[in-house]
Structure 1
Amino acid sequence: MESVIILIFIIGYLSITLEHPLKLDKTVPALIMASLIWAFLAVGFHLGWFDVIDTYEQAYSLFPNGVPLTGDALHDAEHGFDNTLLHHLGKTAEILIFLIGAMTIVEIIDLHRGFEVLKGAVRTRSKKKLLWIIGILAFILSAIIDNLTATIVLITLLRKLIVNREQRLWFAAMVVIAANAGGAWSPIGDVTTTMLWIADNVTAMGLIKFVIIPSVICFVIPFFIATYLPAFKGDIVVDTQEDEEAGRLLSSKTMLFLGLGMIVSVPIFKTITHLPPYMGMMLALGVVWLVSEYIHPEEDFTKERKHLYSAHKALSRIEISSILFFLGILMAVAGLESLVYGVSEAGDPVGTLRYVAEILNGAVPNQDVVVVILGILSAIIDNVPLVAASMGMYTAETDSLLWHFIAYSAGTGGSMLIIGSAAGVAAMGMEKIDFIWYLKKITWLAFVGFAAGAIAFVLLTGGTMGA
């Protein structure tokens, strides 16, 4: 009967990856998949079809050796199942609350037109210089406000700078590479690194120490090669004379620097208090919200216009479907992680994902190669469930090189296909980038950067085998 749950996951997964041909929002199959997996798991557990295992490697069964439990033993087993579900829901909620806080702060900044300030950084007509300016902005911003938001901000900026859509597509595609590379070395730069960070698999300083150099290489090499491509030769018509102050408000600079500063303070808050990151993000949101209530964006600011810049409006602009997608996919993966599928080499029961990890490690003895394969798969399959699966597959200690290599591979590997990352999907939606066009023009650049960064990681650290 375990195959039923795995089949549900496979069908749901395929529906997510084929959302464009199916014309179905990926949130729908994610939610249905998670609900069905846990429903079958609950029914099967109470009928004796399945055993479950929690994150502390404690297995629970209502029919051990075919004999039904009674009394306190029965109660403890049922309680163990409930606690396993609640534990996974709690861990998932930590990520969702963190994302809601970060997304709200970014939306508040955007309402106050804080990102208009960034337009002042672009003062060139040279395609090569513009490429590097946009790339560096994407790399840095993605580490601060996450790669998805950085991509949205910079493509919006590109639309104001480059009128010709065909030229703009090249820059937008390169933004995806830079944003994913920049997000990989920051605990708040990508959903996957945030997941690893919140789960205490990595620390902020550990990510910076081990991943920043491979990430820089992953960003720099494709951009260096791109400067020799015909698409980035010559000049472009950029309106450098436009009055930059025209699009700003009195509150633009204040809200930009306050918002970004509070987001950056979250890792510091966690280091000092040892509280989960979502608590720091709630504090950051509270401070930004407080200031937004009293600040005057305009000279003749009236109470009637306050709603235009309020946090309530920012909350209404958050993409809740993305939040629900993460809820569905993370809980679905948690269901697989909780299903006992086999036994380890030591003879202990293990969950499905741990079982797959042992098979992978047996088939591919080199762990570095396994992680690189995960990175390549993240271009085909969403990197969120891949990282969630890897967290159930491995039990390495905090700041193990394994987790950092997974953070790099999953974060940057998605750049190889336009649908392989949240940043890529955002760019695809905003600029209607064709899948085949990206595959022909950009994939090889992204692969070269990914491979160079992976090689650099192994050379600099000695690889995960020694972790």
Structure 2
Amino acid sequence: METIVVLVFVFGYLAITLEHSLKIDKLIPALVMMAISWGLISLGLDHFSEWFDSGAHALVDGFADLGHEEKRVLLEETLLHHLGKTAEILVFLLGAMTIVEIIDYFNGFATIKDFVKTRSKRKILWIFSFLAFILSAIIDNLTATIVLISILQKIVKDRDVRLWYAGLIIIAANAGGAWSPIGDVTTTMLWIGNKVSTGHLIGYLFVPSLICMVIPSFIASFLPVFKGELSVTEEEVTEVKSKFSSTMLYLGLGAIIFVPIFKVITHLPPYVGMMLSLGVVAIFAEIYSNTKFSMTEVDSHESDEHADHSPVHHSLSKIELPSILFFLGILLAVAALESLGILFEFASTLEETMPMLGTELHHSGVSDIVVLLLGVASAVIDNVPLVAASLGMFHQPMDDELWHFIAYSAGTGGSMLIIGSAAGVVAMGMEKINFFWYLKKISWLALVGFLAGAFMFMFTRTLF
């Protein structure tokens, strides 16, 4: 039965990887394999010899000798545990996405165009690289990519040149997302899972991530495509609500930055702080839109009319719900493998068979090669299930250097292929970037940056 569950996961994973070839949204195989995996576990519960207790991070003693009802109770408790942990991530993401959409409702990101005052292609490259690096750490790399490419489309009219900028934005956004607890879904997973803390994450990864962004941008700045100047055209923002653009931008970004601070002060899960931040931003959004609105009055005719111009209703309708459902499916599917002890056994095998690299520098018990391979793999397949699997495979304590290296590798390794990260996929859709064009022109830059940052991490971790 365990073999069947693994095969279901493998075929589901393959369908996710081949999303663009199969023309099937990746949320569909994720949800299907999740439901089938848990269904098989429920039907074959009495035939499994091991069970992994996620709370205790250890196999349950004497599981095979337990009665059917005891195993059933353990199954339900385990599923509820994983649903709770997954819901923490999903609610957090929903809040963050809604705040970003509220900012966009007021055209807040148009304020960022004020940073671009030059016509030099090389200077614009550095401006967008640093903007992507910083912005992705605050509003996540996916959203930062969408925002910056949208701005790029308004100021760089030559599509051939714009594709190069988009490629470097992907690298910079993924690098920026790696060192922030709210910058990338995988980093957020590690943070919410109490594997990394905000202070140590920034301390460990800021410099390696910066190197991962700077090296490719530095090399690219000498390429012929970034020589000379381009015509910069600024479009006037004519919407009446644009007078609140700057206010809502700084309020929204400040509210998101406040979330880690709230967690440190209260020791509550991050989604609680995110809901507080969303509530505050929503209050100002409603005031600025000159409307009176109760978020609970969804059945009244007045509320239906209000939904057309309410920034909160509008923003909630714009969030990426397919992404939320994908995370739900993939995280619970990985949890199924974890519960059967499969990931635990796989991790033990890795630790025994893989050569140790740099053991004199660290004591995590896991080879640097394993983590680097995880980064390379994240360019081919989605990094969310890879990190979810690592949470079940490795059981080092909080803020162990292993978790920070995983955060770096999974976050930045995806830049090596256009399909390797959410930022790359969205850029691919917005600019119709060809897979092989990216592979030929950008991938080698991403690889150089990834390796440079990894070596920097191996050096700087000795300082902690």
Q: Secondary structure of the residue that 1:251 maps to in structure 2?
A: helix
| Residue aligning to 1:52 | 51
What's the secondary structure of 2:44's corresponding residue?
helix
- The structural deviation recorded for 1:363 is 2.1
Alignment of 1:445-464 (within 5 A): 445-462=445-462
Q: Take 1:61 and 1:93, find their aligned partners in 2: how far apart are those partners?
A: 30
Q: State whether residues 184 and 211 of structure 1, in contact with CA within 8 Å, keep that contact through their aligned partners in structure 2.
A: yes
Q: Percent same amino acid among aligned pairs?
A: 57
Equivalent residue for 1:166, pick from 150, 156, 160: 160
Which residue number corresponds to residue 249 of structure 1? Answer: 242
Alignment of 1:386-401 (within 5 A): 386-401=386-401
CA pair 362-51 structure 1, distance change in 2 beyond 3 A: closer
Matches of 1:448 and 1:355 in 2, distance apart?
33
State the distance in 2 between where 1:259 and 1:297 align.
18
| TM superposition score normalised by structure 1 | 0.91
Q: What CA distance in whole angstroms lies between the structure 2 residues aligned with 1:124 and 1:51?
A: 63
**Structure 1 residues 186, 247: closer, same or farther in 2, change over 3 A?**
farther
List per-residue Cα deviations over 1:269-297 (Å, max 9, x = no partner): 00000000000000001111111111148
- Structure 1 residue 76: Cα displacement: 3.5
Question: 1:139 maps to what in 2?
Answer: 133
What is the correspondence of 1:82-93 to structure 2 with a 5 Å cutoff? 82-93=76-87
Residue 305 (structure 1) shift: 7.8
User: Is the CA contact (8 Å cut-off) linking 1:102 and 1:285 kept in structure 2?
Assistant: yes
Matches within 5 A, 1:26-425: 26-45=26-45, 47-49=46-48, 51-55=50-54, 56=56, 57-59=58-60, 63-64=64-65, 69=67, 74-240=68-234, 242-243=235-236, 249-296=242-289, 307-339=308-340, 351-366=341-356, 367-425=367-425
* Shift of residue 231, structure 1, vs aligned partner: 1.3
Q: Which runs of 5+ in 2 are unaligned?
A: 292-302, 357-366
Q: Displacement of 1:245 after TM fit?
A: 7.1
Deviations 1:62-103 (A, max 9, x none): 742xxx73xxxx543322111111000100000000000000
Unaligned stretches of 5+ residues in structure 1: 340-350
Whole-angstrom CA distance in 2 between matches of 1:297 and 1:411 = 41
Aligned partners of 2:239, 2:110: CA distance in 1, in Å?
9
Give the RMSD, CA atoms, in angstroms.
1.9
Which string of whole-angstrom CA distances, capped at 9 and with x for unpartnered residues, describes residues 166-187 of structure 1? 1111001110000000000000
Give the aligned residue type for 1:216.
L
Letter paired with 1:260:
L
Q: Which residue of 2 aligns with 1:346?
A: none
CA distance in 1 between counterparts of 2:210 and 2:138 reads: 15
Give the distance between the partners of 2:423 and 2:88, measured in 1 at CA: 22
Measure, in 2, the Cα distance between the counterparts of 1:83 and 1:48. Answer: 19
Q: Residues 376 and 296 (structure 1 numbering): CA distance in 2 closer, same or farther, change over 3 Å?
A: same
Alignment partners' CA distance in 2, 1:192 and 1:53: 22
**In the superposition, relative to structure 1, how do residues 95 and 218 fare at CA in structure 2: closer, same or farther (>3 Å)?**
same
* Count of aligned residue pairs for this structure pair: 440
Supply the distance in 2 between the matched residues of 1:61 and 1:324 (Cα, whole angstroms): 35
1:49 to partner: Cα distance = 3.9
Residue 48 of structure 1 aligns with an amino acid whose one-letter code is: H
Whether the 8 Å CA contact 1:143–1:186 is kept in 2: the answer is yes
Q: Deviations over 1:242-270 (max 9, x none)?
A: 54677961221111111110000000000
Letter in 2 for 1:419: I
- How far the C-alpha of 1:307 sits from its partner, in A, is 3.5
Check the 8 A contact 2:259/2:270 in 1, yes or no: yes
